Amino acid sequence: MHPTKAYAAPAAALPLGPFEIQRRAVGPHDVLIEIAYCGVCHSDVHQVRDEWGGSLFPMVPGHEIVGRVAQVGAHVKGFKPGDLAGVGCMVDSCRTCPSCARDLEQFCQKGAAFTYNGTEMDRVTRTYGGYSSRVVVDEAFALHLSPKLDLAATAPLLCAGITTYSPLRHWHTKPGDQVGVVGLGGLGHMAVKLAAAMGAEVTMLSTSAGKEADARRLGAAGFGLTSDEATFKRLAGRFDLIIDTISAPHDYNKYLGMVRLEGAMVLLGVPPAPTPIAAGSLIFGRKTLSGSLIGGIKETQEMLDFCAEHNVVSDIELIPVSGVNEAYVRMVKGDVRYRFVLDIKTL
Ligand code: NAP
Ligand code: ZN
Ligand code: ZN
């Protein structure tokens, strides 16, 4: 066992603070990664605050993990000590069900082992995330990172990157497509960068007028202020695909009005409360309303390779681990440009 420094939420209403966890001894297929940086995802906030229900405490959040391999098991083939490595939202799955057979481990029919706020596949051993100094993971769930990219700015690719890359690929985004991105936060800014890198014409749809210049710098060709009703009229029927990343309840019907005939809107944000959908929002225009959950391990590696090729990383604000409670407050206010990343050496 490896005693490991961490930062944990002791219970739903309490701030995070120092905590010690035990990482398992390195098994034959495991790699031990010394964590350098970990991104702060809005899902960390939802789960620490138990907004989705069923949260497990104490909780060590963090699923945007990057670092260097320090030790490998006897049968590990893909990594050696000193290699860069990343871990995203999953650390294991059953590997045999039809979903796993299709490289869609996030939809494992037995339930994937999520990186934190869950258990290993034994359903007993608790998982703890990347707000910690090291992690031990089966090499099948470790990702290769390019040394060409800034390491701290690579961390958010492990969740925000794959979560936006996967639906863009699933809906066959291609040069010239009209893509609308809703909500300019961690996921939203990656969606803008990735859709632009795929050749789409991107429009940022935001509640924050002050983010327009940033949206254009990130690759958006257009901007629509969603607190202004005129925006919904101006852009009616415009988009082949809308990627919705808003973390709070909002009226999906209004956004569906901006989808073109037979276009699609994909929900990525997970607001704690449901919102009604009018059948007419879909019927008129034969539109699709869809959702998407992170991405499989194979596709995550494909996304990381795509980012290395197109020089895409996250725009980050690097903070000490002790700054995470304040970062949560700022994130909920939409005041993040555009991903907080914890510098794990400050732990
Ligand atoms: P984030 O950085 O906080 O960004 C969310 C953005 O949504 C904000 O910056 C803001 O953008 C907009 N927004 C926030 N509150 C709003 C409100 N009340 N009304 C309208 N717009 C609002 O969060 P994130 O890390 O990108 O995560 C976004 C959501 O995706 C969360 O719910 C998270 O749990 C979920 N998520 C899902 C997956 C998945 O696999 N599906 C993976 C990761 C995260 P503007 O200022 O531009 O309006
Ligand atoms: Zn996440
Ligand atoms: Zn499975």
Q: Is the pLDDT of residue 231 over 90?
A: yes
Domain ranges of the chain: 2-159+295-346, 162-291
Q: How far is the CA of 37 from the centre of ligand 1 (A)?
A: 21
Cα(311)–Cα(31) distance, rounded to whole angstroms?
A: 27
Q: Which atom belonging to ligand 1 lies closest to the Cα atom of 188?
A: 26
For 2-159+295-346, CATH number? 3.90.180.10
- Whether ligand 1 lies within 6 angstroms of the CB of 184 is answered as yes
Backbone angles phi, psi at 120, to 5 degrees: -65, 175
Place 322 in a pLDDT band, splitting at 50, 70 and 90: very high
Residue nearest to atom 34 of ligand 1 (CA): 43
Q: Which atom belonging to ligand 1 lies closest to the Cα atom of 41?
A: 25
Question: Residue 289 pairs with which residues in a beta bridge?
Answer: 265
Place 341 in a pLDDT band, splitting at 50, 70 and 90: very high
Q: How far is the CA of 168 from the centre of ligand 2 (A)?
A: 17
Residue 335 makes CB contacts below 8 A (sequence gap 6+) with none
Domain 2-159+295-346 and domain 162-291 have a common topology = no
- Whether ligand 1 lies within 6 angstroms of the CB of 206 is answered as yes
Residue nearest to atom 38 of ligand 1 (CA): 268
Prediction pTM value: 0.98
Tokens representing residue 105 in the block: 């481990």
Average of per-residue pLDDT across 270-274: 94
Say what percent of the chain tops pLDDT 70.
100
| pLDDT score, position 13 | 80
| pLDDT score, position 158 | 98
Average of per-residue pLDDT across 147-153: 98
Backbone angles phi, psi at 146, to 5 degrees: -80, 130
Cα(69)–Cα(228) distance, rounded to whole angstroms?
A: 49
Residue nearest to atom 19 of ligand 1 (CA): 248
- Whether ligand 1 lies within 6 angstroms of the CB of 231 is answered as no
Question: Residue 21 pairs with which residues in a beta bridge?
Answer: 4
Average of per-residue pLDDT across 192-201: 98
Q: Which CATH superfamily is 162-291 part of? A: NAD(P)-binding Rossmann-like Domain (3.40.50.720)
| pLDDT score, position 267 | 98
Average of per-residue pLDDT across 201-220: 98
Residue nearest to atom 25 of ligand 1 (CA): 42
Q: Is residue 251 within 8 Å of residue 191, measured between CB atoms? A: no
Pocket test for ligand 1, best of 182, 203, 247, 332 (most atoms within 8 A of CB): 247
> pLDDT digits over 75-116, tens only?
999 999 999 999 999 999 999 999 999 999 999 999 999 999
- Whether ligand 1 lies within 6 angstroms of the CB of 29 is answered as no
